[in-house]
């Protein structure tokens, strides 16, 4: 179970995202000013890696765009994933933490697959040991054990595709992580499982949409 500490972060998560977002191919703004709009967490069974699936909005009024930015927090960098490093922060309790784009982190990928197959539960973003009932999962059929090995990551105009290998599966699977969130959008084409979550819009209303899915066929960018 992840423990949420009431402490200081320097720089904080939004400050890190403000610097990181403009370099992403799926970011459409000009001057990043993200505001936290929702999200949830997943537990690392080993208790070593923090996993937060944050939603932020950027922009104002009808021009505002909602982005999905899963992040992992570690005591050291992920080997071989240097381009996925969002930055480092000083945590008031845990010390220096390395913050990564979670789609390149094997711990996150394994837990995302577990969530998409109904074998992990979304946790509240700001409360320890509390499931998040607002996150809904239509589970994909489980092929073999819950373990999923990260094979490669590819980007798209509004998503990131994570190809994984699952023991016992006949072929690699693609986990699609939506980056640009759209309320009530149709499910990803050829998906067998999906996760939907909710977020707050700039006008104070709440929206819901798909944030991740398992694709059955070859990924289409």
Residue 111 lies in a domain: yes
Residue 1 lies in a domain: no
- Predicted confidence band of residue 3 (pLDDT cuts 50, 70, 90): low
Reading the block at residue 142, the tokens are 């489980």
Q: What is the mean pLDDT of the chain?
A: 89
- Predicted confidence band of residue 8 (pLDDT cuts 50, 70, 90): low
Residue 3 lies in a domain: no
Residues 87-120: tens digit of each pLDDT: 999 866 666 889 999 999 999 999 999 999 999 9
How far is it, in rounded angstroms, from Cα 3 to Cα 214?
A: 28
Region 171-189: mean pLDDT is 86
Q: Is the dihedral of CA 56, 58, 60, 66 positive or negative?
A: negative
Residue span of the structural domain in which 80 resides: 9-215
Residue 46 lies in a domain: yes
Residue 155: C-alpha distances to residues 49, 62, 112, 201 (Å): 24, 26, 17, 25
Which pTM value belongs to this model?
0.92
Count of domains for the chain = 1
- Is the CB of residue 127 less than 8 Å from the CB of residue 89? no
Q: Which of 106, 105, 76, 99 is nearest to 19 (CA)?
A: 99
Would strands 50-58 and 65-74 be described as parallel, antiparallel, or unpaired?
antiparallel
């Amino acid at each position: 179970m992840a423990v949420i500490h009431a402490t200081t972060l320097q720089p904080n998560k939004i400050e890190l995202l403000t610097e990181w977002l403009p370099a992403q191919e799926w970011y459409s703004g000009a001057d990043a000013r993200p505001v936290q709009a929702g999200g949830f967490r997943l537990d690392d069974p080993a208790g070593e890696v923090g996993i937060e699936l944050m939603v932020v909005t950027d922009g104002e009024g009808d021009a505002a765009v909602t982005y999905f930015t899963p992040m992992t927090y570690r005591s050291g960098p992920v080997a071989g994933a240097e381009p996925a490093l969002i930055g480092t922060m000083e945590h008031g309790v845990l010390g220096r933490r390395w913050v990564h784009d979670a789609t390149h982190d094997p711990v996150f990928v394994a837990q995302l697959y577990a969530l998409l197959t109904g074998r992990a539960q979304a946790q509240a973003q700001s409360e320890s040991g509390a499931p998040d009932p607002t996150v809904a999962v239509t589970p994909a059929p489980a092929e073999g054990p819950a373990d999923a090995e990260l094979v490669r990551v590819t980007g798209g105009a509004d998503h990131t595709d994570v190809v994984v290998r699952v023991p016992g599966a006949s072929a690699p699977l693609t986990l699609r992580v939506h980056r640009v969130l759209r309320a009530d959008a149709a499910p990803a084409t050829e998906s067998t499982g999906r996760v939907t979550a909710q977020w707050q819009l700039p006008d104070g209303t709440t929206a819901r949409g798909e944030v991740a899915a398992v694709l059955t066929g070859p990924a289409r960018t």
